Amino acid sequence: MRSGLLVAWTRSWQAGLVSYDEVLDVVQAGGQPHRVTGAIGDVALGRLLMEVRADRPRLVLPVPGDPRGLPGPGPYTSHALAAGEAVLAGGWGLVPEAIPPTVLWHSYAVPAATPDLVPLADADAELAEALRDSASALGRLDVAGLRPELAGALAAIRRPASDAGLPPGYPARAHRLLALADRIGDILRLAAADAPGAAVTASAAVQRDDLLRPVAAAARRARLAAYNTELTS
């Protein structure tokens, strides 16, 4: 997730835990140059870092019906909702867009928005509850039977979560929670797609989607909690 990477590594740089060059290398991994356009100007990613160096950036993951963390209606909010991910840093709002061979960050001047900060412990508990509530119901729908590869993904949930790749300064709980949310994201993508040749009725698809919705919301909140948590020295 581009917005999450930018938030995490910028915050670690602001805390003096990684270098400016490390941020650029990680965010632009894969050789795709990143450019900024819009209110900040047409500049390179490095200029953006300098522009927000005194502001704590935070991740927002809005979806239709849940725009928490965004400022009021406007071009930035509309763009962020369409993209499903964005960054807020001081008076700037940023939305990434992949336009090969580059990644373009659309920048907007935005009013202050109330931070939607989710404590790690709350997000962890919410995600665990959503998984418990959905596991038996998904089993009754035989989702794993429809997509055999989903069984392996479900089994992976029970294994200890690995390092999520967050930069220095992030607590271990944030790493674990983000890794778990990423695994759940894989499960959601598999479960939401019909297996090749499977006959899934419209009512079964609606029932499945209703079961997955709270899990998706909890995974989204877990990512927000992990990326936006307080850093440790």
pLDDT tens string 106-140: 999 999 887 888 999 999 999 988 888 777 666 66
pLDDT tens string 182-210: 888 877 877 777 544 454 677 777 777 78
Task: Kindly indicate the confidence band of residue 145, based on its pLDDT and cuts at 50, 70 and 90.
Answer: low
Closest by CA position to 185, among listed 84, 68, 59: 84
Cβ–Cβ under 8 Å, residues 178 and 220: no
Report residue 124: phi and psi, to 5°: -60, -45
Last residue of a domain, which of 49, 80, 109? Answer: 109
> How many structural domains is the chain composed of?
2
Position with higher pLDDT, 92 vs 139: 92
User: Looking up tokens 């999450």, which residue turns up?
Assistant: 4
pLDDT recorded at residue 117 = 87
Q: Which domain holds residue 176?
A: 120-228
Give mean pLDDT, residues 209-221.
88
Closest by CA position to 84, among listed 101, 109, 67: 67
Q: What percent of the chain is predicted at pLDDT more than 70? A: 84
Give mean pLDDT, residues 86-114.
94
Give mean pLDDT, residues 37-48.
96
148 pLDDT more than 90: no
Does residue 114 belong to any structural domain of this protein?
Answer: no
218 pLDDT more than 80: yes
pLDDT recorded at residue 158 = 63
Locate 128 and state its tokens. 């665990």
pLDDT recorded at residue 31 = 82
Last residue of a domain, which of 78, 109, 140? Answer: 109
156 pLDDT more than 70: no
Closest by CA position to 177, among listed 135, 231, 218: 218
Residues 103 and 153 in one domain: no
The pTM score is 0.88
95 pLDDT more than 90: yes
Mean pLDDT over each residue of the chain, to the nearest integer? 87
Does residue 233 belong to any structural domain of this protein?
Answer: no
24 pLDDT more than 60: yes
Cβ–Cβ under 8 Å, residues 7 and 224: no
Task: Kindly indicate the confidence band of residue 155, based on its pLDDT and cuts at 50, 70 and 90.
Answer: low
Neighbouring C-alpha atoms within 13 Å toward the C-beta of 33 = 6
Q: CA of 17: how far to CAs of 22, 54, 175, 214, 228, in Å? A: 10, 15, 16, 36, 16
Residues 64 and 103 in one domain: yes
Residues 135 and 173 in one domain: yes
Does residue 203 belong to any structural domain of this protein?
Answer: yes
Residues 39 and 95 in one domain: yes
